[in-house]
Amino acid sequence: MQLKTKLHGMLEFQEKEIITFPKGLPGFQGLNKFILFKVEENPIFSILHSVEDENIGLIVISPFEVKKDYEFKLDDEVIKQLKIENSEDVLVVNTVNLNSDISKITVNLKAPIVININSGVGEQLILDNDVYKIKHPLIEE
């Protein structure tokens, strides 16, 4: 399959690479199908791109690139909804907020995106704790 994107040109992908977000993603109502691909220039970053809107792509990063001890507990309902059978099925990414000043680039650690890479189902969670911030600096001094 092909996806024409605004910033990344034409992308080739297979049907099995589509990640479905049954509840959608906050702020992107009506968009439920995305693909994930690495940023060629800097592979610690990926793009979570809508296959339904060529203009929508979110820069994401593994939270462990930002905070080595990042952790949270998935409740049983989420595990069931995402059809998670073991921890190897789970991919966690967080959105990146860009800025022309590299010291002002932030990562939303408060709202991880959890994806079951085997079933291709995902959900963005809002963590109910004060440990993680919505605007955590990508690069800490």
pLDDT in tens, 78-116: 999 999 999 999 999 999 999 999 999 999 999 999 999
| pLDDT mean across residues, the chain | 93
Q: How far is CA 124 from the centre of its chain?
A: 8
Residue 84, pLDDT score: 96
DSSP annotation of 135 reads T
As a whole-number percent, the residues of the chain with pLDDT over 70 amount to 99
Report, as an integer, the average pLDDT of 21-31.
94
Contact 74, 114 (CB under 8 A): yes
Percent of the chain exceeding pLDDT 90 equals: 82
Pairwise CA distance, residues 39 & 97, whole Å: 15
pLDDT band at 141, cuts 50/70/90?
low
What's the domain range around 83?
2-137
pLDDT tens digit sequence for 38-61: 998 888 999 999 999 999 999 999
Judged against a pLDDT cut of 90, whether residue 123 lies above it is answered with yes
The domain total for the chain is 1
Give Cα separations from 78 to 6, 46, 52, 84 (angstroms): 33, 23, 24, 9
Cα 1 from Cα 28, distance rounded (Å): 23
Burial 10-47, CB ≥16 within 10 A → b, else e: ebeeeeebbbebeeebeebeeebebbbbeeeeeeebbb
Query: What per-residue confidence (pLDDT) applies to 71?
Result: 95
Report pLDDT for 28: 93
How many angstroms separate the Cα of 32 from the Cα of each of 6, 37, 69, 128?
Answer: 18, 17, 30, 24
CATH of the domain at 127: 2.30.290.10
pLDDT tops 90 at residue 7:
no
